[in-house]
Amino acid sequence: MESESQQQQRVMILCTGNSCRSQMAEAFWRQHDGATWEVFNAGTEPSGVVHPLAVRAMAERGIDIADFKPKSVAAFVGEPFDLVVTVCGNAEARCPSLPRAKRHLHWPFDDPASAEGSDDERMQVCRRVRDEIEERIRS
């Protein structure tokens, strides 16, 4: 059993719109390792809502992200993080300096919000990215 004196590590997951990838990643990180990590997500240019395909894809796994809200990374600039994970190239390139972050990883995933095609085709992209995110977090 973990000692109560041990502090949770803090992770920030960043993407551009903060509508799909970072939201799914936060939910999976909390599910798989929420006891040891305090998890945050944000975007460099946050959209107004979490993308409906991401909500649907996560619901298929029994995880409800319908009430998650996109937020700007600017609100977190002065906070300490043990780890910052960028999940898209644009966020990595445009990420403001998080000077109190101890470590940075870049995990590029395709953007389900920009997938083209029919609803079914777009949903397949979202499912694939969801599964890639979960696999990366588990490893």
Q: What are the structural domain ranges in the chain?
A: 14-138
Per-residue model confidence (pLDDT) at position 34:
85
* DSSP annotation string for the chain: ---TTSPPEEEEEEESSSSSHHHHHHHHHHHHHTTTEEEEEEESS--SS--HHHHHHHHTTT---TT----BGGGGTTS-BSEEEE-SHHHHHHPPP-TTBS-EEE-----GGG--SSHHHHHHHHHHHHHHHHHHHH-
125 alpha carbon, distance to own chain's centre: 16
* pLDDT band, very low/low/confident/very high, at 124 (cuts 50, 70, 90): very high
**Catalytic residue list contains 20:** no
* Dihedral sign, Cα of residue 86, residue 132, residue 62, residue 32: negative
Which residues have a Cβ under 8 Å from the Cβ of 35 and sit 6 or more positions away? 2, 8
Per-residue model confidence (pLDDT) at position 2:
45
**Catalytic residue list contains 88:** yes
Catalytic residue among 54, 88, 91, 137: 88
Per-residue model confidence (pLDDT) at position 93:
64
Residues 119-137 have a mean pLDDT of 96
Q: What is the pLDDT of residues 70-118, one digit of tens each?
A: 999 989 988 999 999 999 866 566 666 677 889 999 999 999 988 999 9
* pLDDT band, very low/low/confident/very high, at 122 (cuts 50, 70, 90): very high
**Catalytic residue list contains 15:** yes
Q: What is the pLDDT of residues 27-73, one digit of tens each?
A: 999 999 889 999 999 998 899 899 999 999 999 999 999 999 999 99
Catalytic residue among 13, 15, 54, 115: 15
Catalytic residue among 95, 101, 125, 133: 95
The pLDDT of residue 4 is above 60? no
Per-residue model confidence (pLDDT) at position 96:
61
Residues 114-136 have a mean pLDDT of 96
Q: Which residues of 14-38 are buried (b: 16+ CB within 10 A; e: fewer)?
A: bbbbbbbbbbbbbbbbebeeeeebe
CATH topology of domain 14-138: Rossmann fold (3.40.50)
Per-residue model confidence (pLDDT) at position 3:
45
